[in-house]
Amino acid sequence: MPEIAGQVVLITGAKGGLGSSVTRACLDAGATVAGTSRSIANADFAHPHFAAVPADLSDPAAAQHLVDTVIQSLGRIDSLIHVAGGFAGGAPIHQTDEATWDSMMNLNARAAFHILRAVIPPMRKAGTGRIVAIGSRAGVQPAVNISAYSASKAALVSLVQTAALENRDAGITANAILPGTIDTQANRKFDPTAGGETWIAPERLAALALFLISDAAAQITGAAIPVYGAQL
């Protein structure tokens, strides 16, 4: 297991299908976790080193307040694992409505921009920091009928790689993980006929995220790491 004991880790989307696995993995590895979602409580993770901080990251003020609150209560933020996001699809570009486009940009691009803009300054001041964002294969390999989702995830990858470039001399690394279809309850509900045995296990993605925030990954930055498994 990567050495992250003693770190203060901020996890967005901490209560979701993948976020729950990431949160539990960080806690099991000895980190202190500040977990955020629009609705989250300390009781969601019964652990003395877990603190719930609800926030809507589509609101820039809420993202800043989240970071300020975590630093005030826990002293610092060593790592950010940005899991929060959303999915919508089912129509080609010419039939995609404004609401779907705006929703995907808000959940997958604008929220990432807001949390990065809030967390980078204190990391720069500290002279160290780890940023990991969960993107999607669709962000680099678009598919039919998910144009808004693909575009928003492509924007996320670009944001992360730009953060890596802008902060490479500030002790901060920034990387994106690009999974194929993740084996979560939400995805099984969306596509109950698909073969879950080919989907990506959330625990595997959590393990990779933990590695990327550990000292062992100190020289990995600007990467967009594909995790496609049998979907290759």
Looking up residue 61, the CATH number of its domain turns out to be 3.40.50.720
Q: What are phi and psi of 68, to 5 degrees?
A: -60, -40
What is the layout of strands, in order, in the sheet containing 172-179?
A: 50-52, 32-36, 8-12, 79-82, 129-134, 172-179, 224-227
Contacts for 107-110 with beta carbons within 8 Å, 24 or more apart? 107/58, 107/152, 108/149, 108/152, 108/153, 108/155, 108/156, 109/152, 109/155, 109/156, 109/159, 110/58
SS3 76: coil
Is 194 inside a domain boundary?
A: yes
Query: Is residue 190 over pLDDT 80?
Result: no
Q: Once rounded to an integer, what is the mean pLDDT over residues 65-78?
A: 98
Q: Once rounded to an integer, what is the mean pLDDT over residues 198-208?
A: 93
Residue scoring higher pLDDT (198 or 177)? 177
Q: Give, as one character, the DSSP assignment of residue 77.
A: -
Query: Is residue 197 over pLDDT 80?
Result: no
- Helices 202-212/17-28 angle, 10° precision: 50
pLDDT by residue (tens digit) across 33-53? 999 999 999 999 999 999 999
SS3 217: helix
Number of domains in the chain: 1
Is 46 inside a domain boundary?
A: yes
Is 2 inside a domain boundary?
A: no
Is 3 inside a domain boundary?
A: no
Question: With bands split at pLDDT 50, 70 and 90, how would you rate the model's confidence at 99?
Answer: very high
Q: What's the mean pLDDT when you consider all of the chain?
A: 95
Domain with 54 in it: 8-231
Is 41 inside a domain boundary?
A: yes
Question: With bands split at pLDDT 50, 70 and 90, how would you rate the model's confidence at 194?
Answer: low
Is 1 inside a domain boundary?
A: no
Is 75 inside a domain boundary?
A: yes
SS3 172: strand
Q: Dihedral of CA 154/159/160/166: which sign?
A: positive
Lowest mean pLDDT among 28-37, 152-161, 191-200: 191-200
SS3 93: helix
Q: How far is CA 70 from the centre of its chain?
A: 17
As a whole number of angstroms, the distance between CA 124 and CA 155 comes to: 23
Q: Once rounded to an integer, what is the mean pLDDT over residues 7-24?
A: 96
Contact 209, 192 (CB under 8 A): no
pLDDT by residue (tens digit) across 135-180? 999 999 999 999 999 999 999 999 999 999 999 999 999 999 999 9
Lowest mean pLDDT among 89-98, 125-134, 155-164, 194-203: 194-203
What is the pLDDT at residue 2?
A: 72
As a whole number of angstroms, the distance between CA 59 and CA 97 comes to: 22
Is 207 inside a domain boundary?
A: yes
Q: Give, as one character, the DSSP assignment of residue 15.
A: T
Q: Is 222 left (phi over 0), alpha (psi -120 to 50) or beta?
A: left
